[in-house]
Amino acid sequence: MQFGSEKKQTLANGAEMVTLCAPALHTVAFTAVLPFAPAEPAGLYHYIEHLFFERAGELRAEGINAAMTANGAEIRAYTTQTYMCFTFTCRKEVFRSELALLFSMLSQREYDEEELSKVLPVIRNEMFEDNFYDIRSGDVIRSLWYDCRYNLPVLGDIRELEQVTREELDSCRRMLFNTGMRLFLAGGFSAEDEGYVRETFGGMPLQPFAVPAAPKNGRAPLPAIRRGRGRELQALVTYHVSDADKELKLAAHWLRSGLFDGLDSAFYSFFGDWGFKFYSVEADFAIRGSELVFSYLTYIKKKERGLFDVLVSRFETAGEKADFVGLSRPYLYDDLILLPDNPERLCTHYAETWADVGETVTLSEEAAFCEGLTNARLAALWRRVAASHRRVFYLGK
């Protein structure tokens, strides 16, 4: 599988960019990923993400929104525990206008009290919504990291954010602009468009990027099992790999897909044979440095808990026999060829793969890796996951 127009380059300031040009398309997608080291208080980077939308040079929030409306393209953003991401998709005729707007937002340094006062009410509302919904499984998974800096919520604590000073905000904002920056450009852009990206983002002053070593006084691990009340339970099974390498990180999607995606997956086949009629299972993985947490979540009746306890271990062995290649290849390898025709999805794919692996991976590199995967190799990787630190949590109503 070849992607001839794909190109990886390092810009003058040390940022890295991957481009894939598809001249026949009328749209262009752009994504900027800004990695960061954890900071105190938690939620500071998310606070800054909102500030970026409050001012861009002479424009205030209303003007920024009007500029996006005029271009017919919305700049979207999100913040995780390890990076901030900005992305947009637009008609190629307005690409440089939209890019200039994003660059102006990210280059903004000064904020008036008016802009600062607008952000905290929005964050309070996000925290309310976050607490309103039942997301206990997410809270449990976040608490598992051995590096305790990642145990804290992305939104932070509103009482701490209310005490943040301008100096802390400015210091944190500067830390975002470092040589870990990754840019992804895809679609029907021109050579002049690509040059404009190099001129703007490549001319942005960046500081060296390094994540400090994890503190040695991390949190004590959670107990293996939590019992819930009620007749129905969420059964959350987690596996914690502490030494995940590039191969395992790249293959984690294949393991998740082959074991859990679709009614013909190993999970439904195995548990179906034991009389479990699951409507759905939510399987996922997350990576922080060399730590990988692989998990699956499903609903059971409380009276089924004893049998489920036994079957968790048996499923690990049965999973080794899964047809990983047959179940995953059509979605995770064959579909790679579709990405160049969908710039928005391609840029998302680039960013998510970067987040998983910890380095930029082109489609060509990913395809070469996936082409060599076999059921035997994937079974061996699954054994690595299954042999790691397993915990089972029962979350009741």
Q: Domain span at residue 83?
A: 6-203
pLDDT band at 264 (very low <50, low <70, confident <90, very high): confident
For residues 175-192, give the mean pLDDT.
Answer: 97
pLDDT band at 278 (very low <50, low <70, confident <90, very high): confident
Judgement on whether residues 184 and 300 belong to the same structural domain of the protein: no
User: What pLDDT does 225 receive?
Assistant: 60
pLDDT above 90 (res 37) = no
Q: Is residue 217 part of a domain?
A: no
User: What pLDDT does 227 receive?
Assistant: 57
Q: Is residue 96 part of a domain?
A: yes
pLDDT above 70 covers what percent of the chain?
96
Length of the chain: 397
User: What pLDDT does 220 receive?
Assistant: 52
For residues 12-35, give the mean pLDDT.
Answer: 97
Q: Is residue 224 part of a domain?
A: no
Strand ranges for 199-348 from DSSP E? 232-241, 282-288, 291-301
Judgement on whether residues 241 and 379 belong to the same structural domain of the protein: yes
d(CA 224, CA 125): 34
Q: Is residue 145 part of a domain?
A: yes
d(CA 376, CA 380): 6
Please state the domain count of the chain.
2
Mean pLDDT of the chain: 92
pLDDT above 60 (res 218) = no
Judgement on whether residues 176 and 31 belong to the same structural domain of the protein: yes
Q: Is residue 21 part of a domain?
A: yes
User: What pLDDT does 230 receive?
Assistant: 65
Judgement on whether residues 173 and 53 belong to the same structural domain of the protein: yes
Judgement on whether residues 199 and 251 belong to the same structural domain of the protein: no
Neighbours of 373 (CB within 10 A): 20
Judgement on whether residues 41 and 187 belong to the same structural domain of the protein: yes
Domain CATH number, residue 150: 3.30.830.10
Judgement on whether residues 242 and 198 belong to the same structural domain of the protein: no
Sheet arrangement for strand 182-187: 6-10, 16-21, 182-187, 27-35, 83-91, 76-79
DSSP of 174-241: HHHSBTT-EEEEEES--HHHHHHHHHHGGGS--B---PPPPPSSPPPPPPS-----SSEEEEEEEEEE
Q: Is residue 335 part of a domain?
A: yes
d(CA 1, CA 368): 8
Are 181 and 338 contacting, i.e. CB atoms less than 8 angstroms apart? no
For residue 87, what are its two tokens?
Answer: 């992305």
Judgement on whether residues 181 and 67 belong to the same structural domain of the protein: yes
Alpha-carbon dihedral angle through residues 64, 57, 38, 350, given to the nearest 10 degrees: 60
For residues 296-323, give the mean pLDDT.
Answer: 94
pLDDT band at 356 (very low <50, low <70, confident <90, very high): very high
Judgement on whether residues 350 and 236 belong to the same structural domain of the protein: yes
Which one is predicted more confidently, 221 or 216?
A: 216
pLDDT above 70 (res 373) = yes
Q: Is residue 218 part of a domain?
A: no
For residues 33-58, give the mean pLDDT.
Answer: 92
Of the candidates 70, 115, 87, the one whose C-alpha atom is nearest the C-alpha of residue 350 is 87
Helices (H), 33-183: 44-52, 61-71, 95-107, 113-132, 136-142, 158-161, 166-176
| Window from 32-46, 173-187, 220-234, 336-350 with minimum mean pLDDT | 220-234
